[in-house]
Structure 1
């Protein structure tokens, strides 16, 4: 089968063997996959991953190895990306996201979805409603991550929020926050980067025009050290900084304001797939307007080059 593999650089491999599936897993045929900022950072060295990349997908279950799972055959599915040990306290009490022995699809110890076929535990699968197109369903994982922000903030008395980074994930976060009733401003570095959020009827501003110490909560989805620095700059004393970016950098960052201004920093990662699919079914977000290109797997290197260009949002891959 075809696949995009990371090993001392990204390469297209036309003849990798199909994965074998055990009794608890499903073999999935890829329909669409999305390139995200984490994939781009993995290619640059983030997390030291080796293997087939990719974790945003929609596909069709081709085979299962357990008669109890036959109902999954031929279903359109998406899947959560964390695979826990199912024995530790984290798995038993909170789920696989913080299992110290977890594998993460296309990111940590588990081959990903930039391939014609891949495997995933049946327990990780979610059926895609008929009302949700493949082009929308492929956004389930990042939309779930956006919903996670709302769930982390819902018990905190905050009304006004800035989202830095009008890119793939930042726009989803801003829209989900706006739907939840927050007063949201999307901040970017150029007027052109703010065109789509304005089209989505979100409030926007240039980050360089924002005064110091003026937001009580900032979500950094920029994927850049510069975005993190700007987030610190515009936060009020005792404000909340939520980090959504994963990136690899050796640049120094001055954290003195975190101490002096008594800032609270919240990390935010994976979110609820069921909630994301429900929101996609409601069609409240013009999600397909985020798609900037589609490529075959055998054009994967060109797809990554395109995805890494400034201002480009979602690039999709298909077999």
Structure 2
């Protein structure tokens, strides 16, 4: 039986096609996709046909922030938190499929696995299609209190939570975030929960600055201010990893930590060596997430983090081209774009 899929067939070009579902292997379940988020990394692939050193050499289904409903699960299947999986369960899906055997996996860092696949990154198809086969242990059963959109937002929230943990934020710290896209805005909410006493956000888009101010930032600015900044204990770079890296280093006080979350378009990021060296900065590179879904579910279910507030646009699958164009052009008011199937 075939199902509809939005396939990236070339630079900035999608085609709606039919895909045939294969037979699930042992330990796999079939998901009927409901909601998919559009991520900045998707935009890299949409624009450039690549991300980092991974190039797309044939048509690919994007989409790694998603949730859906289980339609087939083998007897005894359990999700990543040990809960039984049954047809009808609403689940969020972690897109990173680690090997489970390498040193990095054994030491508890599956996000650093060197023998992995990632849904929506070549060569593994992602979730912009009606059905998808995924490992059971990559699923996490959603409570009724989390919406379908909220379920898809757990992936970017996991990225933000992993970055926060790498920053070792302590109560009373002064923190800054460079870039108020979805990851940056989620970091703002998490930093507020972590008990920082000052939270400065730099973001060039006015509507995103306003959203940062309403979700926890104590100050916002469009750019670095030499008369007021350079005093933060921990800085999170959550932009495009271009001049945002240098800005993050400028914001940091001597001895501070700078956590780099963004992905550069040309696979290069630049920071002035003398600035970082003389300040004695710790530069920490954050890759995806590790062991975050249960905690993210709890944060959203308890109302501690508002993920729905960040969603500015929702498109159907047959308007996926428009969804990506709106995000890629940073049109007025765009924050987080979702595709609902």
Q: TM-score, normalised by structure 2?
A: 0.86
Q: 1:95 to 1:260 in 2, by over 3 A?
A: closer
| Alignment partners' CA distance in 1, 2:86 and 2:297 | 17
- Deviating beyond 6 angstroms after TM superposition, the runs of 4 or more aligned structure 1 residues are 155-158
1:183-198 counterparts in 2 under 5 A? 183=197, 184-198=199-213
CA deviations on 1:67-117 (whole Å, 9 max, x unpaired) are 222843210001212212222222222142111111111125321111111
| Alignment partners' CA distance in 1, 2:121 and 2:295 | 23
Aligned-residue offset at 1:155: 6.9
Aligned-residue offset at 1:158: 7.0
Say whether the 8 Å CA contact 1:38–1:247 is kept in structure 2: no
The corresponding residue for 1:285 is 305
The corresponding residue for 2:81 is none
Greater shift in the superposed pair: 164-173 or 81-90: 81-90
| Alignment partners' CA distance in 2, 1:97 and 1:226 | 26
The corresponding residue for 2:276 is 258
Q: 1:191 to 1:302 in 2, by over 3 A?
A: closer
| Alignment partners' CA distance in 2, 1:151 and 1:145 | 10
2:223 counterpart SS class: helix
Aligned-residue offset at 1:6: 2.9
Return the structure number with greater helix share.
1
Q: Compute the RMSD of aligned alpha carbons.
A: 2.2
CA deviations on 1:52-71 (whole Å, 9 max, x unpaired) are 1111111001113x322284
The corresponding residue for 1:31 is 34
Aligned-residue offset at 1:287: 2.1
1:207-218 counterparts in 2 under 5 A? 207-211=222-226, 213-218=230-235
| Alignment partners' CA distance in 2, 1:287 and 1:161 | 21
- Unaligned ranges ≥5, structure 2: 78-83
270, 284, 300: which one pairs with 2:289?
A: 270
The corresponding residue for 1:130 is 144
Say whether the 8 Å CA contact 1:12–1:300 is kept in structure 2: no
| Alignment partners' CA distance in 2, 1:67 and 1:112 | 25
1:1-319 counterparts in 2 under 5 A? 1-9=3-11, 10-43=13-46, 44=48, 45-46=50-51, 47-49=54-56, 51-64=60-73, 66-69=74-77, 71-154=85-168, 159-183=173-197, 184-211=199-226, 213-249=230-266, 253-256=270-273, 257-268=275-286, 269-271=288-290, 272-310=292-330, 312-319=334-341
2:20 counterpart SS class: coil
Q: 1:98 to 1:201 in 2, by over 3 A?
A: closer
The corresponding residue for 2:80 is none
Aligned-residue offset at 1:294: 1.1
Say whether the 8 Å CA contact 2:317–2:340 is kept in structure 1: yes
Q: TM-score, normalised by structure 1?
A: 0.92
Say whether the 8 Å CA contact 1:207–1:230 is kept in structure 2: no
| Alignment partners' CA distance in 1, 2:136 and 2:206 | 44
Tell me how many residue pairs correspond in the alignment. Answer: 318
Greater shift in the superposed pair: 20-29 or 274-283: 20-29
| Alignment partners' CA distance in 2, 1:78 and 1:29 | 11
Say whether the 8 Å CA contact 1:220–1:241 is kept in structure 2: yes
- Unaligned ranges ≥5, structure 1: none
2:338 counterpart SS class: strand
